[in-house]
Amino acid sequence: MTSTAHERATIAALAGFADMTTARLRSLRSGRTADEAYALAAGMVEPTAALSHEFRRSPRLQDRWRRSAASITPSSMAARCGDSGIEVVLPDDPHFPTPLHGDPRRPEVLFVRGSLDSLDARRVGIVGTRNPTRRGAQTAARFGHELAAAGVCIVSGLALGVDGAAHRGALAVEGARPVAVVANGLDQPYPRRHADLWAEIAERGALLSEWPPGVIPEPYRFPQRNRILAALSELVVVIESRERGGSLITAHEAAERGIDVFAVPGSIDQRSSAGTNALLEVGAAPASSSDTLLVALGLDHRRARRTAFDSRPRPHGVEADALERCTIRPQSVESLSMELSLDLAGAAMTLARLERSGWVAESGGWFEPVDEYARFV
Amino acid sequence: MFASVPAAMLFGARGHPVAVEVHVGKGMPGFHVVGLPDESVREARDRVRAAVMSSGATWPDTKITVNLAPSQERKSGSGLDLAIAVGVLAASEQVPLDSLATLAFLGEVGLDGSIRSIPGVAPMAGVLRELDLVVPVGNASEAWVVASRRVHPVGHLRDLIAVLGHDAPWPEHDGPPAPVIDPPGPDLADVVGQPMARTALEIAAAGRHHLLFVGPPGSGKTMLAARLVSILPELSPDASLEVTMVHSAAGLALPPSGLVVRPPYRAPHHTSSEVSMVGGGSHSLRPGEASLAHHGVLFLDELPEFASRVMDTLRQPLEDGAVRVSRAALHTTIPARFQLVAAMNPCPCGEGNAPGECECGDARVRKYIGRVSGPLLDRFDLRVGVERPTVDHLLGSERGESSVAVALRVAAARARADQRQGCVNADLSSIELDRHAPLDAGALAVLRFELEKGRLSARGYHRIRRVARTIADLGPAVVDSIDEATVSLALEMRSSVRRHATADGRVA
């Protein structure tokens, strides 16, 4: 069964109504044709009992939908999608992603740029905080890169921080087809700093959204996006997360669906690992390398380890000690001087030398180790 | 009859001599003040009349004209009351004219004839050096400090009339009080741990570098800043006098000895207005916080919360060491050579600089730090991160090094700088830097790397070298050239503002 162009345009328009949510769209849709659902929301027919109840609960909703109906027609929406190269996919369509079919909160419509075939590969969701440590961002890039090199499709949310690093790491692999699930219309790149990533993923993999062009990324849409991200993944790995955050919602959504959740362990007294360590405590599996994930997917991980030549001069003596401390946790001049019993000037000089030889990078007075994935951060 | 009485008025932090000319002659009874008096001077009429009558003298029932010379300048304040009262008494022949010779009069009178303290006696006394001074008792000590001739503190107009009428000697007074040792302020020993911040304070004190603390709430930024004055050297006699003048002009309570000898510490609230910061007001041009911190420390807590206009007004005194205030008809300069110390959170959530600790996105952090204008941020030679003290430090019984011990090193470093170049390191020009702070090969390599990476601007380069010079001066031995470790530390002492958050990504 395949939906008609008119059906697709009508549901797309409906999804673009003000304050539309997945749940509202589903109840409008249930057992109705696309036209009936549209007429109901636009106020062209008497509201059903359930809908009147909804209107009473949100007093201005009826009014807003009426106004939306006046400005968003199926034909204008179809034109808008066409202009931005956005494809509308309904659950009835054959290429609607299979993992979403049986989902308890299945999206009623998907907007796609790029090719949904990208999802035919093995899929791993990589998520994490928007403000990672350098180590976190590098780990995300490393996992993205190594998994993509093993032919895995990286699913992520295109957010700043971990998401972006994972995507960049993956895109550096020739032929990689990563998938990004975003929370706004596909006509506007968000976050804007990832406009280049956005375009490249649309070109090589697929950009997915539950919402039509013109929908802005309001805060409540992100948790909803996370459920699709989780549902599309065969397993989800959380790279870094503080005690609360969107990546924990994704992990939760994944666990609810029986999808394995992995977390990268971190130091117990670093706030940046509070969320991932909490996940490990409630039963997530630890992932210290991408091999763990490949094994979990049943893929052969015994490939030849490519050992990249590291041109950086190996640090010796106190510099080696300092680098080791930086690897355990970010260090400032003060903390390093206390750990290694150096005077402040000595600690500053040691760190500055490590930075000049490319082993650590500094931001705001804190030094973190640099590895070969730093260029994706 | 006519009498001319020397007095002075205050303008900014300077005194200006004023001759109070009083004419009592025939005509309709009345009292006229000419010579551009403002409302507060004009009100002197009522105070003076009541005071004269309360003191047992008579108020002449004729035409009284008071001229305040020079007559082109605006006069304000109540400090001319006493001179007007004496003028009226002399012109109406109630005190002999000759008894006024060599005397100047400063003070406000009350309706009961008492003579009250006024702000600015020190700078006013400074311009009346050829005369003996009659001053309110409350202002005696500052007058003693400044005056070069005799000072007569008098508490009541009645007593003054008696002295001037040769009926009594000058009232007895203790004379200048012996200098008192100020009670020690907060001590550095209270600061536990925080080696980086303590070192930064020491460097700031030794080189007179402007200092910015960046750290989460509760990390002790305010506590640290308040202790800077405890390790600064005492004011030189000249500086001491300048500070006393400004504080007196602002009506600030002076120490019992009348002379401010410790560097002042001023910490205006972030709601302060431009006028309260740099001084001004309509007529008297009161000194602002920047001037009250002259030769001392101006501490701005929560720097980004200050209005940007207020921050910008500080740039001119930071450059010139003085505030130029201009009003329609008046302008003056008030000294304001202060050391700027400021504190701010690293980001709006305040959680800290450490990677992964903070929830704020880059854009929010950039906006927050952007509230402090780039040029002002650039003035800070030292921008140091402060972390919350660790539990071990807090619970430990170990106290930090005391202010006295640190002050000794600071004084030694200042002496070295003074001997070498005759100024503090923060005031070294780039040419002098080449001569007095040459870099060795290692240090040069460090700075070359930073410059080539674009992380250091030309101006930043000189600032780093000044700080490095101070760090070297604080060391145990005299060193001529700056080495790699010293310059590395100087660089680190400027790194606490996140690179991606500054406008151009430079340490500058």
Domains of chain B (ranges; CATH) run: 2-164 (3.30.230.10), 188-501 (3.40.50.300)
3-state secondary structure of B126: helix
- Residue A359 scores a pLDDT above 70: yes
| CB spacing of B491 vs A348 below 8 angstroms | yes
Cis peptide before A313 (omega within 30 of 0): no
- Per residue in A81-131, pLDDT (tens digit) is 999 999 999 998 998 999 999 898 999 999 999 999 999 999 999 999 998
- Distance CA(B91)–CA(B96), nearest Å, equals 9
CB A147 within 8 A of CB A165: no
Tell me the two tokens of residue B502. 């500054």
Of A175-184, A242-251, B382-391, the range with the highest mean pLDDT is: A175-184
B449 touches chain A (CB under 8 A): yes
- Distance CA(A222)–CA(A249), nearest Å, equals 10
- Residue A280 scores a pLDDT above 90: yes
- Distance CA(A234)–CA(A186), nearest Å, equals 24
| CB spacing of A364 vs B489 below 8 angstroms | no
For residue A161, the distance in angstroms to the closest alpha carbon of chain B comes to 10
Residue of A nearest to B384 (CA): A365
Nearest neighbour of A330 by CB, restricted to B346, B354, B501: B354
Q: Which chain A residues are within 8 Å of B488, Cβ to Cβ?
A: 345, 348-349, 351-352
| CB spacing of A270 vs B361 below 8 angstroms | no
For residue B7, the distance in angstroms to the closest alpha carbon of chain A comes to 58
Cα B188 to Cα A345, B191, B278, distances in angstroms:
21, 6, 29
Q: Which chain A residues are within 8 Å of B491, Cβ to Cβ?
A: 348, 352
| CB spacing of B484 vs A270 below 8 angstroms | no
| CB spacing of B359 vs A242 below 8 angstroms | yes
Tell me the two tokens of residue A184. 């706004």
For residue B503, the model assigns a pLDDT of 41
Residues 6+ apart with CB under 8 A from B98: none
Q: Which chain B residues are within 8 Å of A322, Cβ to Cβ?
A: none
Nearest neighbour of B346 by CB, restricted to A136, A337, A364: A364
Residue of A nearest to B500 (CA): A363
Question: Which CATH number is associated with domain A317-376?
Answer: 1.10.10.10
| CB spacing of B356 vs A136 below 8 angstroms | yes
| CB spacing of B355 vs A334 below 8 angstroms | no
Mutant choice from A194, A342, A344, A362 vs B, greatest count of B C-beta within 10 A: A344
| CB spacing of B356 vs A271 below 8 angstroms | yes
- Per residue in B60-81, pLDDT (tens digit) is 999 999 999 888 777 887 889 9
Q: Which chain B residues are within 8 Å of A276, Cβ to Cβ?
A: none
Q: Which chain B residues are within 8 Å of A334, Cβ to Cβ?
A: 194-196, 385, 387
- Per residue in A204-239, pLDDT (tens digit) is 999 999 999 999 998 889 999 999 999 999 999 999
Query: For residue B180, which amino acid is it?
Result: V
Number of H helices, E strands in chain B: 21, 18
B441 touches chain A (CB under 8 A): no
User: How deeply is B149 buried, as exposed, middle or buried, from its count of CB atoms within 10 A (0-12, 13-18, 19+)?
Assistant: middle
Cα-flanking dihedrals φ and ψ of residue A331, to 5°? Answer: -120, 145
| CB spacing of B387 vs A332 below 8 angstroms | yes
A131 touches chain B (CB under 8 A): yes
CATH 3.40.50.450 placement within chain A: 121-183+218-296
A132 touches chain B (CB under 8 A): yes
Mutant choice from B357, B360, B444 vs A, greatest count of A C-beta within 10 A: B357
> Which residues is B14 bridged to in the sheet?
B11
Q: Which chain B residues are within 8 Å of A362, Cβ to Cβ?
A: 495, 499
Cα B423 to Cα A283, B140, B207, B470, distances in angstroms:
65, 34, 9, 12
Residue of B nearest to A338 (CA): B195
CATH of the domain spanning A121-183+218-296, picked from 3.20.20.20, 3.40.30.10, 3.30.70.980, 3.40.50.450: 3.40.50.450
Compute the average pLDDT of residues A167-175.
Answer: 94
ipTM of the complex: 0.84
Q: Which chain B residues are within 8 Å of A348, Cβ to Cβ?
A: 485, 488-489, 491-492
B479 touches chain A (CB under 8 A): no
A328 touches chain B (CB under 8 A): no
Cα B452 to Cα A350, B467, B505, distances in angstroms:
20, 20, 14
Name the helix (H) or strand (E) containing A235. Answer: strand A235-238
Q: Please tell me the pTM assigned to this model.
A: 0.84
CATH 1.10.10.10 placement within chain A: 317-376
| Number of CB atoms found within 10 A of residue A83's CB | 10
Cα-flanking dihedrals φ and ψ of residue B337, to 5°? Answer: -95, 85
For residue A369, the model assigns a pLDDT of 93
| CB spacing of A349 vs B353 below 8 angstroms | no
Low-confidence ranges of chain B (pLDDT < 70): 179-184, 282-284, 327-330, 498-508
Q: Which chain A residues are within 8 Å of B387, Cβ to Cβ?
A: 332, 334-335
| CB spacing of B489 vs A349 below 8 angstroms | yes
A74 touches chain B (CB under 8 A): no
List the 370-389 stretch of B: residues with Cβ below 8 A of A: 385, 387
| CB spacing of B488 vs A351 below 8 angstroms | yes
A362 touches chain B (CB under 8 A): yes
For residue B399, the distance in angstroms to the closest alpha carbon of chain A comes to 17
| Number of CB atoms found within 10 A of residue A110's CB | 26
Compute the average pLDDT of residues A306-320.
Answer: 82
Cα-flanking dihedrals φ and ψ of residue B32, to 5°? Answer: -125, 135
| CB spacing of A352 vs B491 below 8 angstroms | yes
| CB spacing of B196 vs A129 below 8 angstroms | no
- Distance CA(A144)–CA(A171), nearest Å, equals 8
| CB spacing of B495 vs A330 below 8 angstroms | no
Compute the average pLDDT of residues A39-60.
Answer: 89
| CB spacing of A334 vs B359 below 8 angstroms | no
CB B255 within 8 A of CB B182: yes
